[in-house]
Amino acid sequence: MKILAGDIGGTKTSLAVFEADGTHLETLDSEKFSSQEHGSLDDIVRQYLNGLSFDCETACFGIAGPVRSGKARTTNLPWEVDAQHMTENLGFRQVFLINDLEANAWGISALDESDLSILNEGKPSSGGNACIISAGTGLGEAGMYRDGSLFRPFASEGGHSDFSPGSELEIELLRFLRRRFDGHVSWERTVSGPGLVNLHDFLCEFRKTDPPGWLVKQMRQGDPAASISVAGQSGRCPVCLEALELFIHLYGAEAGNLALKIMATGGVYIGGGIAPKVLSKLKEPAFMQAFSDKGRMAHLMRDIPVRVILNDRTALYGPALYALKRTVAGG
């Protein structure tokens, strides 16, 4: 059975075709598209299918946004996606839509140890739940409850929950962000690519300093968050370094919040495109200190395994495995 799998994000859309044999997946083809350059997911999928020399029977897409009754409105794109409409208009026998972080969670079972980098060995509970948090264009979160010997992923929109400051500096950050976003401030406004830009802008105002001209030029010409990250890691810009370190601290704090709410004693996975690019910073003490700094629950947090996902195809493996499971189970 050939399955078209998709990872649909605010910046890029990745598609791949897998040949499914039992629970084994073989990649037949893959391609990436700029999400911003297309008017809909249907347009991208139609363009991709036209270039293939074979047909796909089933499709499953991980969507960055809430999925309800087979329909989704993407959070960081002006797209509305309808599984039934895609089935009828693109020639599939069946189309599934799932939240992108739920899709990532499904993909974890396809990973090897070499696809993971350990931040905290911990003491995993064999019967415990697990969770995944991923910073990219937005902040995604999902849980995995233990059903016998298997994890069963489920979606959440936890990245849009209220940001909670934990220091005097972060209280000032909250005030800055409330002005910028007219009231409500979510964790996504701090822990994401755009969130890193927000942190940098805040620190420039708070420290009463202007960004250097070369950085302003780089941010205008390319990815602003990537420019800040590179400048911070190289030590070329002190404010960029402070912004990156604040980002790492907040990432750890919210990962710990999610772990507590899910009771993820089976493990926490750090996904998304940013984590592998700042892995050396994640391995410094700050991330795990913020993760574990939960007062009376600190002892519990120190026992939770924390791993960074290095394989960027996890978000494609997941939809394929989900579609395979649903198809084998009869829909």
DSSP notation for 31-59:
EEEEGGG-S-HHHHHHHHHHT-SS--SEE
- Condensed to tens digits (0 to 9), the pLDDT of residues 275-311 reads 999 999 999 999 999 999 999 999 999 999 999 999 9
Contact 92, 58 (CB under 8 A): yes
Residue 296: both structure tokens together: 């009376």
Say if CB 104 and CB 311 are below 8 A apart: no
How far, in Å, CA of 134 to CA of 100, rounded? 10
Residue 330 has pLDDT above 60, yes or no: no
Bridge partner list, 62: 7, 98
SS3 84: helix
C-alpha 68/C-alpha 72 separation (Å) is 6
Q: What is the DSSP string of 196-223?
A: HHHHHHHHHHHTT-PPPHHHHHHHHHS-
Q: Using one digit for the tens of pLDDT, what is the confidence trace for 184-194?
A: 999 999 999 99
Q: How many CA atoms lie within 13 A of 208 on its CB side?
A: 0
Spatial distance between the Cα atoms of 191 and 247, rounded to a whole number of angstroms: 6
Is the model's pLDDT at 322 over the cut of 60?
Answer: yes
User: For 28-32, 123-127, 165-169, 245-249, which range has the lowest pLDDT when averaged over its residues?
Assistant: 123-127
Spatial separation of the C-alpha atoms in residues 201 and 183, rounded to whole Å = 17
H or E, element range at 86: helix 83-90
Q: Evaluate if residue 149 carries a pLDDT over 80.
A: no
Q: Read off φ and ψ for residue 218, nearest 5 degrees.
A: -60, -40
Rounded Cα distance between 281 and 247, Å, is 10
On the question of pLDDT at 80 being above 60, the answer is yes
- The predicted pLDDT at position 22 comes to 64
How many angstroms separate the CA atoms of 270 and 177, rounded?
25
Cross-strand pairs, 94: 58
Report the 3 state secondary structure along 220-281: HHCCHHHHHHHHHHHCCCHHHHHHHHHHHHHHHHHHHHHHHHHCCCCEEEEECCCHHHHHHH
State in Å, rounded, how far the first CA of the chain is from the last one.
Answer: 15
Burial category of 115 from C-beta neighbours within 10 Å (exposed 0-12, middle 13-18, buried 19 and up)? middle
Element of type H or E holding 314: helix 314-329
Which of 99, 135, 145 has the alpha carbon at shortest distance from 267? 145
In the block, tokens 């997941």 appear at 318
Residue 162 DSSP code: B
**248, 287 Cβ separation under 8 angstroms:** yes
Spell out the domains of the chain, with CATH numbers in brackets: 2-100+313-329 (3.30.420.40), 112-310 (3.40.367.20)
Q: Which residues contact 34 (CB under 8 A, 6 or more apart)?
A: 11, 12, 13
Looking at residue 126, its pLDDT comes to 74
Instruction: State the average pLDDT over residues 100-127.
Output: 93
Please write the tens of the pLDDT for every residue from 239-267: 999 999 999 999 999 999 999 999 999 99
Percent of the chain with pLDDT over 70: 98
Are 75 and 115 a contacting pair, CB within 8 Å?
Answer: no
